[in-house]
């Protein structure tokens, strides 16, 4: 008499790939659009921080634009990750270099961007003396670490956007126009600083290119997005 051999029931594996795919599709254009709008709405910076504090005593636009800046800081790295995930299979080496340059550049600037608009806004709101506070902020901006962070931003936005645009084009994961807008919008941004409306337009163009990446993420299957999960934890 043969005893029946019972095999333990296999625990169901939770597949979260669809959640991450949709989340990244939503996030990828937001930081570039938010920063572009911030540049378009904000008036050009004044000669020194003291003049900026005086101007912002009556101009309260930064009070709500600071949340656009926060969106950029929080979502710029996830956006770069989403760009890389879309292009990595069709252009693995180019995507690797693009991610290192663009992601590394922004990881340099985010912790090293000391002072600046946030401190000027607090000084204007709290009624601090513009002259003495402005000198302190200007001295902080002269710190070499701030310059290093600025260099990281320039490398990320110029070289990084060109590389990720080329990776998207090489991978054929998005339409040519989407890859071109990503590369062109980032590359032109630092050279459009002569007028703040035009300055922000470069990042809006980059965000439009990211819209093609969002469309690709939403239309691909979970298996195209990533390998299936192996564990229930």
Domain hosting 155: range is 19-225
Per-residue model confidence as pLDDT tens digits over 126-141: 889 989 988 988 888 8
Give domain status of residue 9, yes or no.
no
For residue 174, being part of any structural domain is answered with yes
State the pLDDT at residue 3: 55
Q: What is the pLDDT of residue 192?
A: 72
Q: Is residue 139 part of a domain?
A: yes
Q: How far apart are CA 43 and CA 187, in angstroms?
A: 22
Among residues 61, 171, 81, which one has the least CA distance to residue 124?
A: 61
For residue 27, give the nearest of 67, 64, 77 by alpha carbon.
77
Domain-located, residue 233: no
**Nearest Cα to 210, choosing from 192, 189, 191, 185?**
185
Report the pLDDT value the prediction gives residue 171, as an integer from 0 to 100: 95
Instruction: Give 13's DSSP letter.
Output: P
Tell me the average confidence (pLDDT) per consecutive run of 10 residues in the chain, 233 residues long: 54 82 96 92 77 85 88 95 95 96 90 77 89 88 85 91 96 96 86 78 94 96 87 67
11: in domain: no
Other C-beta atoms closer than 10 Å to the C-beta of 28 total 28
Indicate the number of domains in the chain: 1
On whether residue 4 sits in a domain, the answer given is no
In a domain, residue 198? The reply is yes
What's the pLDDT at 200?
A: 86
Residue 184 belongs to a domain: yes
pLDDT for the residue numbered 232: 64
């Amino acid at each position: 008499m043969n005893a029946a051999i019972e095999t333990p029931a296999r625990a169901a594996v939770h597949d979260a790939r669809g959640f991450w795919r949709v989340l990244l599709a939503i996030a990828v254009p937001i930081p570039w659009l938010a920063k572009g709008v911030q540049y378009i709405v904000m008036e050009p910076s004044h000669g020194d921080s003291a003049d900026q504090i005086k101007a912002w005593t009556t101009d309260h636009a930064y009070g709500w634009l600071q949340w656009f800046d926060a969106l950029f800081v929080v979502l710029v790295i996830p956006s770069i990750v989403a760009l890389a995930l879309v292009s990595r299979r069709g252009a693995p080496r180019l995507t690797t270099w693009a991610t290192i340059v663009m992601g590394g550049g922004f990881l340099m600037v985010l912790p090293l961007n000391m002072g600046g608009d946030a401190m000027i806004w607090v000084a204007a709101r709290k009624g601090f003396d513009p002259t003495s506070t402005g000198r302190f902020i200007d001295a902080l901006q002269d710190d070499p670490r701030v310059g290093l962070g600025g260099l990281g931003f320039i490398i990320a936005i110029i070289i990084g956007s060109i590389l990720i645009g080329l990776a998207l084009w090489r991978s054929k994961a998005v339409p040519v126009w989407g890859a071109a807008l990503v590369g062109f919008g980032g590359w032109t941004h630092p050279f459009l600083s002569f007028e703040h409306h035009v300055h922000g337009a470069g990042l809006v163009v980059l965000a439009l290119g990211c819209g093609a990446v969002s469309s690709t993420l939403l239309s691909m299957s979970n298996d195209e997005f990533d390998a299936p999960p192996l564990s229930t934890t």
